[in-house]
Amino acid sequence: MKMALLAGAAVAASAAAAHADELQDLKAQVEALNARMAAMETAPSVPAGYQLLAITEGEAKQIPGMMGSDRDRVVNNRATYISILPTADAPAGTQISWSGYVRAAIVYSGKSGDATVKKYDTANGTSTLTSKVKYSRNSDDDWDVKSRGQLRVVATTDTAVGEVGVELKMRADFDGTSKADVYMKTAWGYWAMTPELTFGGGYAGSLGNIGYGYDGACTCYYTDNADVGFDPGDTTQLRLSYNSGPFAMAIALEDSTTGNFNGAELGVAGEMKYTGDSFSGEISGVYRNTNEGDYNLKGTYKNAGAGVPGTTGADFNYNADLEALWQVGIGGAFSLGDIASISLAAAMGSGPYQVVNSNGSIEAEYPVNNSWWGVSGLASANLSDSVHTELGVGYKSRDIDNFNGVTIGTDDNPLWRYTGVEQDTFAVLGGVYYTPVDQLTIGLEAEWYQNQLSGKRTGNVDTAAENKKQDVDASGDNWTVDLVSVWRF
């Protein structure tokens, strides 16, 4: 018994010694693991000289302070982002995003019109109706396949003084076999000094544009050709904007230079905007001073000018004292969630207006002073998650009552002097768009508009009588139908 007890005690002692050795080994392993974790925590996240990059997909960047003034006809809701994440040697995070699209459409367009001209003989100091002539014009139907490509790049960086960013929008339009040049649709830089205050500048849409109604809110890939919009045109500018919650306001200093206008000076534009869940609206205004700039245009007649024999190839001069451009307008939209919306716009203004010679006798466009007012509306509805429809109507009246003695023709042989010209434009457009995924849209669009013009003109209209006066009434119908596809990334 004694020997058995001694043997058992020896076995127990041996087992305890072995267990103690295992505990020591386990403790050493835990200490080694802790040391490795501590070393990993203190090591840099990326090797020296490199920065951590992340590529993601997300919503397209909305540029602070743009106020919707540079609305694109195709809104890319998604974009690809490259993010440079902050590290020990890169305190600021930089983000670059890009998006773009290609669109193509088969476009059918046409026009027709007629005019009534009353001729008066004023050679003897009296006005006597001598003849009444009715002209009719029907253009051949025109079929085209048109295309456009656009790339948008936005780069932003968080700095010690706020976010600084740049937006570049490059575009090219194609029609047939000719190659298109890429042009810069938008070139904009900004500094978000505070979450509410942003300073920006570059080339973009004017704050004076009304972003509602027929022209301002429609999808309109290849329609919206009627003169019923209220857009004073893109220009170079510096802008200061403020945004707090649903309320935003901005003011911009704009360049008034347009084409060959001489004496153009600076202009100013401003906008106040409210954006809510069920209602949004804006009040906008623009003033571009031309300093009553003198506009001079020289060219040649392409054919016999309006009945004047021997004028083909002759030189002509066009001179005008142009007034400053100004416009004030309002816009608003009422929304029923994702179901439907109504967008309305109205504006009035005055200033130079580009007119194209109607009979093609002069190789040029020329500006005249005029005043205008107009109203428009657009109703849109979502028939399903992928089908969207639009219907718009618009009206604009132009009163071109002051040509300031402008003469179309040579100094020695004035061809026409226009007075009391009025132009009314009526327009209707509609579209149905199918968007099964964000990357693809197929649409069917149509537009019809009519221009009605009346006025008086005097000049040398033939060689038999030198002083003639005419009353002109003209009407022209224009239409466009297209089937368009848009591919985005």
Burial class (CB in 10 A: 0-12, 13-18, 19+), 293: buried
Two structure tokens written together for 455: 């006025």
Give the whole-angstrom CA distance, residue 253 versus residue 257: 13
The CATH number of whichever domain residue 312 belongs to comes to 2.40.160
For the entire predicted model, the pTM comes to 0.79
> 67 in a domain, yes or no?
yes
Which of 341, 350, 390 is CA-nearest to residue 373?
Answer: 350
> 39 in a domain, yes or no?
no
> 19 in a domain, yes or no?
no
**Amino acid sitting at position 363:** E
| Tens of pLDDT, residue by residue, the chain (489 residues) | 555 555 555 545 555 555 566 777 777 777 777 777 666 555 555 555 555 677 888 888 889 998 887 766 566 778 888 887 665 554 557 889 999 999 999 999 998 888 787 777 665 556 666 566 666 666 668 899 999 999 999 999 988 899 999 999 999 999 999 888 899 999 999 999 999 999 999 999 999 999 999 999 999 999 999 999 999 989 999 999 999 999 999 999 998 876 555 555 789 999 999 999 999 999 999 998 876 555 655 555 444 444 444 444 555 555 666 778 899 999 999 998 889 999 999 999 998 776 544 443 344 455 677 899 999 999 999 999 999 999 999 999 998 765 544 444 444 444 556 667 888 999 999 999 999 999 999 999 999 999 998 877 666 544 444 446 777 788 889 999 999 999 999
> 10 in a domain, yes or no?
no
Radius of gyration of the chain (CA): 35
Please tell me the predicted confidence (pLDDT) of residue 92. Answer: 59
> 30 in a domain, yes or no?
no
Q: Residue 79 is part of which domain span?
A: 53-488
> 343 in a domain, yes or no?
yes
Two structure tokens written together for 286: 């623009």
How many domains does the chain divide into?
Answer: 1
> 258 in a domain, yes or no?
yes
Dihedral, 239, 244, 248, 249 alpha carbons, nearest 10: -50
> 12 in a domain, yes or no?
no
